[in-house]
Structure 1
Amino acid sequence: ELKQSPYKVLQDWQRYYGGNLLIVLPDAFGTASFLRDAPDWVADWTGFRPDSAPPIEGGEKILSWWREKGKDPRQKLLIFSDGLEVETIEETYRHFRGKVRMSFGWGTNLTNDFEGCAPTNTNRLDAISLVCKVTEANGRPAVKLSDNPAKATGDEKEIERYLRIFGEKDRVEQLVKV
């Protein structure tokens, strides 16, 4: 039942919102396990937001998965959004141009890019995270594994249990700025 929960959430979303904003966020328990176990109907959704994987690597895995499912990636959408800088956006755009439709969710480094602007060394202008994370649901602890182990949240024992269920394939630790 737990292993099917990501797809149950997507079914509920589709039912509640009438097929609008069909963008998959696949990394809650790891993109590799999500793609490995995803039902065929998930490939009919508009696109994916590969949030915690390196953008080119994560995007390529999703394009390969779409092709395996008989879908043309040029008709799909990837929304890149994790810790983007101007250089990352440009490199990602050049790599995927003509292969897939793209959008970029540029947050912290667009709206809070004051690093090094003060005349003196201060941390008062450091970026902050405004991301809200679920910690529990119905009195039970919530877990997010993420493709980046540094972004995993939840009780340590629960994280270990989820890793036994979903696996650790393709999880790569990266620096989390905020």
Structure 2
Amino acid sequence: MDRLLHHELRAVLSAFAALALALTALGLVRGFSAPERPGALALYLGGLLALLVGWTLLKATRIKWFSQVRDFERAVPSEGAEGALPTDRLLRDRPFALRLFVPYLALGTGTALWEPWALGVLFWPALDWAGQAALVAHWERRNGLLLWRGRVASRPWELSVSRRPATRTASGARPG
């Protein structure tokens, strides 16, 4: 099983690393010059960011076809004797998704060399995953639960929840 938050953060890190390499390849091939119209680039990125914020806020609602919160609330409880699954090192052990990085790098490099503006299309999923990670983190903190994916190997998209493990204090002892 994989924590949904860690899955989203892994996707964000992999996509941004691939896009950074694609932009580097673009710079090496076409040169590292400033854009001809910097105002247009700022307007483009600002519009993309505004659309993403609106999309993320739409997913945070309970509207039937857009809501991610409804999916989180329908997650089934995970079976565990203690009710809380270990979360300490999941992201640190696997911070990178190679299955996403390689195709994203190939597509990003090809897109950047063909038309640099089209690379913004690949920023959308990366920024969407970042928004999804923020939404998951907010929901987990608000509800005191952890969201997991992959409880059933044949249906990795299916979500489950577990209790948040007790936090440690500065002295290392568990409260309570």
Instruction: With the length of structure 1 as denominator, give the TM-score of the two structures.
Output: 0.23
- Structure with max Cα Rg: 2
**Structure ranking higher in helix proportion:** 2
